[in-house]
Chains A and B, each alone.
Chain A
Amino acid sequence: MNIKEYIELLFTDYTLRTITLGTAILGAVTGMLGSFAVLRKQSLLGDAISHAALPGIAIAFLLTGTKDSNILLIGALVSGLIGTFWIRGIVKKTHLKSDTALGLILSLFFGFGMLLLTFIQKQPNANQAGLDKYLFGQAATLVESDVWLMALVSGICLLVLLFFWKEFKILLFDADYTKTLGFNTKFIDVLITSFIVLAIVLGLQTVGVVLMSAMLLAPAAAARQWTNKLSTMVFLAALFGAFSGVFGTAISATQNNLSTGPVIVIIAGVFVLFSFVFSPSRGLLFKQIRFIKNRRDLQLHKTLTFMFHIAEDHDNISHPHAIKILNNFHGYTRGTLQKLEKKNFVKLDGNMWSLTEEGYKTASNLYNQQNKTNE
């Protein structure tokens, strides 16, 4: 199937369209909120919340006996929120560090959830099969009403974000200072956290408990590489998330056996990898290139300065000198000499070199310039 056919299929095939829309919206909202989690250094939070949601799903099923995804997700939401606020409580009331508290809640809730799931599976009568889809997600079970719910929550989330943008930003940067300005930091904090919980719970059906936190972190981590502006970062994270959803769905739809959730997460991971290597300002590739270039320039400058000090002692700065006298100098190689000639800083004539007017000027300003760029 080629791309054109696939796009046609997108518009005609109901299931494919639903799943694509759903994963795109999910990717966008988790990417957006994930930026906040990443900037607050709460990377584990997503993991803890998604795992804490599992027992809620099981209990909701046990109580109601239905497999209606909305009811199960309400269960997930409740236990996710309980887990999250227990984490806050533990950190506040005890000496435990926040990663300890996160890990503790994560494994306790997840263990309890698994216990309940196996209990449910052992029951003879129940139509239990299918609850374990929340472990790894099953995008194929998305229906239109699920997508509407996601769209609604994302819309509200976006509005709140725009509304309290200033408050979110300052809290993320400097919480103590925010408090002294008279803002209720607890309210802002609870608002952010609640939306993160909501977004994660919405994603459980599609991506699953185990991989959900990657949806939160990967787009944000990738976006951070490309910009130094918070609004751009949040926007890019949403974009990367949405694209991961669309591409992931496309790949899993065309390669029959791949399940959607993991493919989406892998695509998001590719975004991260690509960003870490290729981003112009923070990427490894350009950092390395800049490093090599700087080192070369340094060698060049060292040689030029050395020549400058020799030429300085003569009345005529273009007085020729033997290349031999450079041999004792460390920065010097044949290559640097040729490069200096190419830049018109020196003239070569057989075994002799001489500094040009331009080379002399550049060399005498070298130190000053470096001062300036350092400022």
Chain B
Amino acid sequence: MIDNKNKATPIAVKVDDLTVAYNYKPVLWDIDLEIPEGVLMAIVGPNGAGKSTLIKSILGILKPIAGSVSIYGKPYDKQRKLVAYVPQKGSVDWDFPTTALDVVMMGTYGNLGWIKRPGQKQKKEALEALEKVGMLPFKNRQISQLSGGQQQRIFLARALVQNASIYFMDEPFQGVDATTEIAIINILKALRKAGKTVIVVHHDLQTVPEYFDWVTFLNVKKIATGPVKDIFNDDYLTKTYGINYKVSLQK
């Protein structure tokens, strides 16, 4: 299936000359990136490589110094509804007074637009998404009373509800157990099967070939991007992580 994705495949995400700095020192340098439609792509790189920063600037959360992002050939601003986002779990305060169902419902707010309130239809969609991630029994739980892995699945469900074409996920496997990891990767593979493009920041190098069909090496600059079977090799791993990467592989 992957093999028939030849030249005809449209480009889902295109990043041009993207440069981002927090305090004058660039953390992303001149990134050019093309992500074809329908891939399940891992972004790998060491801590501080700029993976989260890349996603945030693609999504317009951060303002880059230079560069542009287009989604299916049009500026990101016009294509927001096609894009869903799963932030890093630690980016919000989980002691916020709300329930799991309510958080998932937030995924429908984008399509609702200003002022309009979610109704039965949105609730049904949210419940379906909760079901998909196996969190239906917890729908009325206060979110601080969920475990880390459960919170992660709530975020995933919130993105699923957006019913987007492109999904950006920042470390969705962070702190989840083996069973949940398999459950999540199955959801991601189902998304790919439905023709969606899924971009995932990933830390476990060992599982890259098993989970993903596309990979981007990032360390301030883009090292390489392409099919896992072609470029996931020692050469690029060393270029990204330095010579010590083998230690982390063995762990």
Within 8 Å CB of A227, what residues of B?
Answer: 97
**A217 smallest CB distance to B (angstroms):** 16
Task: Tell whether, in the assembled complex, residue B114 and residue A229 are in contact, meaning their CB atoms are under 8 Å apart.
Answer: no
Number of A-B contacts (CB under 8 A): 76
Query: If A166-B115, A166-B117 touch, does A173 touch B80 (CB 8 Å cutoff)?
Result: no
Task: Tell whether, in the assembled complex, residue B97 and residue A177 are in contact, meaning their CB atoms are under 8 Å apart.
Answer: no
Task: Tell whether, in the assembled complex, residue B97 and residue A181 are in contact, meaning their CB atoms are under 8 Å apart.
Answer: no
Instruction: Report the separation of the CA atoms of residues A173 and B61 in the bound assembly, to the nearest whole angstrom.
Output: 15
Number of interface residues, chain A, beta carbon within 8 A: 28
Task: Tell whether, in the assembled complex, residue B61 and residue A180 are in contact, meaning their CB atoms are under 8 Å apart.
Answer: yes
**A206 smallest CB distance to B (angstroms):** 29
Within 8 Å CB of B23, what residues of A?
Answer: 95
Within 8 Å CB of B92, what residues of A?
Answer: 173-174
Within 8 Å CB of A39, what residues of B?
Answer: 93, 96-97
Instruction: Report the separation of the CA atoms of residues A135 and B106 in the bound assembly, to the nearest whole angstrom.
Output: 43
Task: Tell whether, in the assembled complex, residue B98 and residue A230 are in contact, meaning their CB atoms are under 8 Å apart.
Answer: yes
Assess whether A310 is interfacial by the CB under 8 Å rule: no
Instruction: Report the separation of the CA atoms of residues A230 and B97 in the bound assembly, to the nearest whole angstrom.
Output: 5
Number of interface residues, chain B, beta carbon within 8 A: 30
Within 8 Å CB of B56, what residues of A?
Answer: 176
Task: Tell whether, in the assembled complex, residue B142 and residue A170 are in contact, meaning their CB atoms are under 8 Å apart.
Answer: no
Assess whether B245 is interfacial by the CB under 8 Å rule: no
Task: Tell whether, in the assembled complex, residue A228 and residue B98 are in contact, meaning their CB atoms are under 8 Å apart.
Answer: yes
Contacting B at CB under 8 A, from A160-218, are 163-167, 169-170, 172-174, 176-183
Contacting B at CB under 8 A, from A120-171, are 163-167, 169-170
Assess whether A224 is interfacial by the CB under 8 Å rule: yes
Instruction: Report the separation of the CA atoms of residues A180 and B57 in the bound assembly, to the nearest whole angstrom.
Output: 11
**B4 smallest CB distance to A (angstroms):** 32
Residue of A nearest to B22 (CB): A95
Task: Tell whether, in the assembled complex, residue A174 and residue B106 are in contact, meaning their CB atoms are under 8 Å apart.
Answer: yes
Task: Tell whether, in the assembled complex, residue B114 and residue A167 are in contact, meaning their CB atoms are under 8 Å apart.
Answer: yes
Instruction: Report the separation of the CA atoms of residues A166 and B114 in the bound assembly, to the nearest whole angstrom.
Output: 8
Task: Tell whether, in the assembled complex, residue A164 and residue B115 are in contact, meaning their CB atoms are under 8 Å apart.
Answer: yes
Indicate with 1 or 0, residue by residue over B154-194, a CB within 8 angstroms of chain A CB atoms: 00001000100000000000000000000000000000000
Query: If A179-B60, A182-B81 touch, does A173 touch B110 (CB 8 Å cutoff)?
Result: no
Residue of B nearest to A375 (CB): B137
Task: Tell whether, in the assembled complex, residue B97 and residue A224 are in contact, meaning their CB atoms are under 8 Å apart.
Answer: yes
Task: Tell whether, in the assembled complex, residue B109 and residue A180 are in contact, meaning their CB atoms are under 8 Å apart.
Answer: no
Interface centre among A169, A228, A232 (most CB of B within 10 A): A228
**A375 smallest CB distance to B (angstroms):** 8
Assess whether B103 is interfacial by the CB under 8 Å rule: yes
Residue of A nearest to B56 (CB): A176
Assess whether A263 is interfacial by the CB under 8 Å rule: no
Instruction: Report the separation of the CA atoms of residues A183 and B61 in the bound assembly, to the nearest whole angstrom.
Output: 12
Instruction: Report the separation of the CA atoms of residues A182 and B111 in the bound assembly, to the nearest whole angstrom.
Output: 9
Task: Tell whether, in the assembled complex, residue A176 and residue B61 are in contact, meaning their CB atoms are under 8 Å apart.
Answer: yes
Query: Interface residues, chain B, CB within 8 Å of chain A?
Result: 23, 56, 59-61, 80-81, 83, 85, 87, 91-93, 96-99, 103, 106, 109-110, 112, 114-118, 142, 158, 162
Contacting B at CB under 8 A, from A270-322, are none
Assess whether A233 is interfacial by the CB under 8 Å rule: yes
**B174 smallest CB distance to A (angstroms):** 17
Instruction: Report the separation of the CA atoms of residues A179 and B23 in the bound assembly, to the nearest whole angstrom.
Output: 22
The 4 tightest CB contacts between A and B, nearest first, are A181-B110, A228-B142, A182-B80, A180-B85
List, sorted by A's number, 8 A–B pairs whose CB atoms are closer than 8 Å: A163-B115, A173-B98, A174-B91, A177-B85, A180-B80, A183-B110, A230-B96, A230-B97
Instruction: Report the separation of the CA atoms of residues A164 and B114 in the bound assembly, to the nearest whole angstrom.
Output: 8
Task: Tell whether, in the assembled complex, residue A177 and residue B87 are in contact, meaning their CB atoms are under 8 Å apart.
Answer: yes
Instruction: Report the separation of the CA atoms of residues A50 and B31 in the bound assembly, to the nearest whole angstrom.
Output: 46
Residue of B nearest to A185 (CB): B61
Within 8 Å CB of A164, what residues of B?
Answer: 114-115
Task: Tell whether, in the assembled complex, residue B98 and residue A229 are in contact, meaning their CB atoms are under 8 Å apart.
Answer: yes
Within 8 Å CB of A228, what residues of B?
Answer: 97-99, 142
Task: Tell whether, in the assembled complex, residue B96 and residue A166 are in contact, meaning their CB atoms are under 8 Å apart.
Answer: no
Residue of B nearest to A35 (CB): B97
Interface centre among B98, B99, B162 (most CB of A within 10 A): B98
Task: Tell whether, in the assembled complex, residue A181 and residue B91 are in contact, meaning their CB atoms are under 8 Å apart.
Answer: no
Pick the contact of B91 from A169, A176, A178 — CB < 8 Å? A176
Indicate with 1 or 0, residue by residue over A222-247, a CB within 8 angstroms of chain B CB atoms: 00100111101100000000000000
Instruction: Report the separation of the CA atoms of residues A233 and B142 in the bound assembly, to the nearest whole angstrom.
Output: 14
Other contacts beyond A164-B114, A170-B106: 10, CB < 8 A:
A163-B115, A166-B112, A166-B116, A166-B118, A167-B114, A167-B115, A174-B92, A180-B110, A181-B80, A228-B97
**A128 smallest CB distance to B (angstroms):** 46
